Amino acid sequence: MLNKLSEKNMLVTGASSGFGWAIALAAAAEGANVALVARREDKLRELAALVEDMGVRASVCTADVADEAQILAAVDKARHDLGPIDVLVNNAGTNVTERSIEDTSSDQWRYLLEVNLTSAYVFTKAVLPEMKARQDGVIINLASRSALHPGLGGGVAYSTSKMGMDALTQITNQEANAANVRACLICPGSANTPIVMRRPRPPSQEQLELMLQSEDVAETVVFVAGLPPRAHVELIAIKPTHL
């Protein structure tokens, strides 16, 4: 019996930790070959070994997603190693401790938009034509509840970048649904990942345990990626039960 993602090639950005790491493992467990994109090659190679232990292929695509040339090189390497990309997961993201307009510098604003939003646009632009030509493909954009409820908790630059992910997802669907290509925006609430420790007041261990865990989001991604082409989930908001 085939697994949900057997014979699918998935590219995951921000794969060296947090959601990306868990998504790669969950996808591999369901039979997907996985292209791993992040800056830390040592962590990607560690993850690639775990993926390959599951009997599927892994491609290590070291790249800084703030650099368009490195993004395009990563996509080319993924195609070379695995073949056409069936599922793109735009997961890479970051935040800064400064959250208000007054405290956020222009450099921080630009950097967060490059990493959190522009990278997703560039990856999408790179794979969308081949998905449309094949009449099949899934693009999953990992945003945040800040995409739906922007505020100082996430910060001005982070919230803006995640709201932009919503617009990118909707326009991708308008452009590509007719070709059986589906884009989904997943908006997790507070989650126990490294980025949460960049809050002005980092959460306690008790709070971390109440948050979403990376595997919760990974299971959600696999669910969306494994749906038949006739079924399209546009938006998922997932939050901790007790926070």
Domains identified in the chain and CATH numbers: 9-238 (3.40.50.720)
Catalytic residue among 16, 144, 190, 214: 144
**87, 100, 111 from 159: Cα distances, Å:** 25, 11, 13
Catalytic residue at 144? yes
Catalytic residue among 8, 162, 190, 214: 162
What pLDDT, on a 0 to 100 scale, did the predictor assign at position 202? 85
What pLDDT, on a 0 to 100 scale, did the predictor assign at position 125? 98
Residue 152: CA count within 13 A, CB half-sphere:
7
Contacts 24+ apart (CB under 8 A), 192-196: 193/17, 193/18, 193/19, 194/17, 194/18, 195/18, 195/93, 195/94, 195/95
What pLDDT, on a 0 to 100 scale, did the predictor assign at position 107? 97
Catalytic residue at 158? yes
Apex 219 CA angle, 183 and 6, nearest 5 = 75
Q: For residues 19 and 217, is the Cβ–Cβ distance under 8 A?
A: yes
Spatial separation of the C-alpha atoms in residues 24 and 107, rounded to whole Å: 31
Task: Please give the chain's pLDDT, 243 residues, in tens.
Answer: 568 999 999 999 999 999 999 999 999 999 999 999 999 999 999 999 999 999 999 999 999 999 999 999 999 999 999 999 999 999 999 999 999 999 999 999 999 999 999 999 999 999 999 999 999 999 999 999 999 999 988 999 999 999 999 999 999 999 999 999 999 999 999 888 887 877 888 889 889 899 999 999 999 999 999 999 999 999 999 999 987
Catalytic residue at 111? no
Angle (deg, nearest 10), helices 106-113 and 156-176: 30
Catalytic residue among 8, 16, 43, 158: 158
Spatial separation of the C-alpha atoms in residues 44 and 57, rounded to whole Å: 13
Phi, psi for residue 56 in degrees, rounded to 5:
-120, 175
Q: For residues 185 and 233, is the Cβ–Cβ distance under 8 A?
A: no
What pLDDT, on a 0 to 100 scale, did the predictor assign at position 191? 87
Spatial separation of the C-alpha atoms in residues 117 and 88, rounded to whole Å: 14
Residue linked to tokens 């630059």 = 157
